[in-house]
Amino acid sequence: MGIINRIRSVILSKTIDSKHRTIGVEEECIIYDKKNRRLSVNQGTKFSAADLSSTMNEKSNNNGSYSIEPGGQLEWSSLPFSNIHDIKYSMEIHKKTLNKVIKKEKLKILDYSVEPVFEPNDISLINQLKYQLMDKNMAKVDTLGRWMMRNTASIQINYDFESERELEEMVFIADCLQPVSSYLFSNAPFWKNKLVLNQNIRYLIWEKTDKYRCRNLIDHGIIEPKGLVNNYIKYMLDVPGIFGFDKEGEICSVSGTLGERLQYLQKNNCLRDLDINGALHQIFTNVRLKNLIEVRGADRPPFGFELAPVAFWTGLLTIEEIREEALSTILNWSIEERLNWNSNALYLDDSIIGPEGESYFYWNKWAGNLALKGLGKRGLGEETYFCDYFDNVLSDGPFSLQKQKDLAEQNKTILEAIIA
């Protein structure tokens, strides 16, 4: 079996009848200690992010799992569920349990997707070889990779798929509509202890993290749904590797591309699923393939609206009729239109012109209404998780802009606003 087919077998290993499709959520948050500094990452004399993750896993009672990101951000990974109502129930248990620990340890969860005050040099790195190798790589390839690792928080949504064709449609739609997601869910009003004004900061940080493994799929020559899986694999094989696994399954440093590493292992009859999954996890595009679809482009949402991105993408991606309607529009967009729109997504200005000569506002409204239509087709009453949020953002702009306006009216410093 050739290397492309071997990787295909891993990506397509968990196809499932769409009637039994599940949705999973990974939610990240940035945490401050009682002195209003970032919670220390590694275990020591003070309560740390590592201690928090360990404590939460002990208290989880099979309600998902916890881990920490490179700068100590806490990540909760839900179990897979068939609908958003069940995710909400599970998330409420998670939040209730977390808030008890936060209160006991006198910590604070930040309501932002980007660290507002402290810079990467202020924040230690998790004591794991994987992230040490990644940190070394990020310092070489672009300017904001260390910001991404230590100072950002997002929400990722994972979807099962029924077939290769369905996967390709879902991934292509998600890639085309990333500018909408980046605008609607922008939640980073402050950066470097300053207002961001109309900059979409988390999107900017990811754009300047690693041009080889980040950004949108169109940036890597993946321009249509047909053949997307094979084209994704070919792209992945040319990406420089950061880490691999030794014979014992432990993280090790590597050289060359991901493809060179995997082909060497295959030639020597020691290629494992572990190695392929490790390679797939070294791609950080806004939507990526594992043995499921991971949609990654939304900021960590504001408190109370954590499920808005989940509802948005679920409405757009999980109903065949809605996918067909979306594709009937976006397949008419030229590559140039899409690339220009992706560049314009760096700015929170819904008057900017997008595809077909229509404004950002027009496409935000079109995609949001199509998502609500899809949620309605699901027939589960899940529209409630998106409709109020959507109306709010269409009326008053994304929360990055709203929170800057609120700060000006309160006449507070950024740190005072965070503490409050």
pLDDT top residue among 87 and 413:
87
Dihedral sign of CA atoms 348, 354, 358, 363 in order:
negative
Dihedral sign of CA atoms 351, 354, 357, 360 in order:
negative
Q: Residue 411: which pLDDT band, with cuts at 50, 70 and 90?
A: confident
Q: Which residue has the tokens 């999980």?
A: 318
Domain encompassing residue 92: 3-239+283-419
Tell me if 260 is assigned to some domain: no
Tell me if 60 is assigned to some domain: yes
Tell me if 253 is assigned to some domain: no
pLDDT digits over 186-234, tens only? 999 999 999 999 999 999 999 999 999 999 999 999 999 999 999 999 9
Estimate to the nearest angstrom the gap between the alpha carbon of 262 and the chain centroid. Answer: 26
pLDDT digits over 244-298, tens only? 999 999 999 999 999 999 999 999 999 999 999 999 999 999 999 999 999 999 9
Distance between CA 220 and CA 100 in Å, rounded? Answer: 44
- Check pLDDT > 90 for residue 91: yes
Buried b (16+ CB within 10 A) or exposed e, 139-158: eeebebbbbbbbbbbbbbbb
Distance between CA 240 and CA 257 in Å, rounded? Answer: 4
- Check pLDDT > 80 for residue 386: yes
Q: Say how many domains are in the chain.
A: 1
Tell me if 218 is assigned to some domain: yes
Q: Which residues face 288 on adjacent strands?
A: 294
Tell me if 219 is assigned to some domain: yes
- Check pLDDT > 90 for residue 418: no
Give pLDDT, residue 420: 76
Tell me if 246 is assigned to some domain: no
Residue 169 CB-density burial (10 A; 0-12 exposed, 13-18 middle, 19+ buried): buried
Tell me if 42 is assigned to some domain: yes
The model carries a pTM of: 0.98
User: Which letter does DSSP use for residue 61 in this model?
Assistant: T
CATH of the domain at 370: 3.30.590.20
Secondary structure (3-state) at 81: strand
- Check pLDDT > 90 for residue 347: yes
pLDDT digits over 369-378, tens only? 999 999 999 9
Mean pLDDT of 147-176: 98
Give pLDDT, residue 283: 98
pLDDT digits over 93-145, tens only? 999 999 999 999 999 999 999 999 999 999 999 999 999 999 999 999 999 99
Tell me if 278 is assigned to some domain: no
Secondary structure (3-state) at 66: strand
Give pLDDT, residue 415: 86
- Check pLDDT > 80 for residue 1: no
pLDDT digits over 23-56, tens only? 999 999 999 999 999 999 999 989 999 999 999 9
Task: List, in order, residues 6 or more apart from 93 with CB less than 8 Å away.
Answer: 63
E-state strands within 113-270 = 154-159, 190-191, 194-195, 243-245, 251-253
Mean pLDDT of 394-399: 98
Give pLDDT, residue 332: 98
Estimate to the nearest angstrom the gap between the alpha carbon of 16 and the chain centroid. Answer: 23
pLDDT over 70 for what percent of the chain? 100
Mean pLDDT of 3-18: 97
Give pLDDT, residue 167: 98
Give pLDDT, residue 417: 86
Cα Dmax for the chain: 65
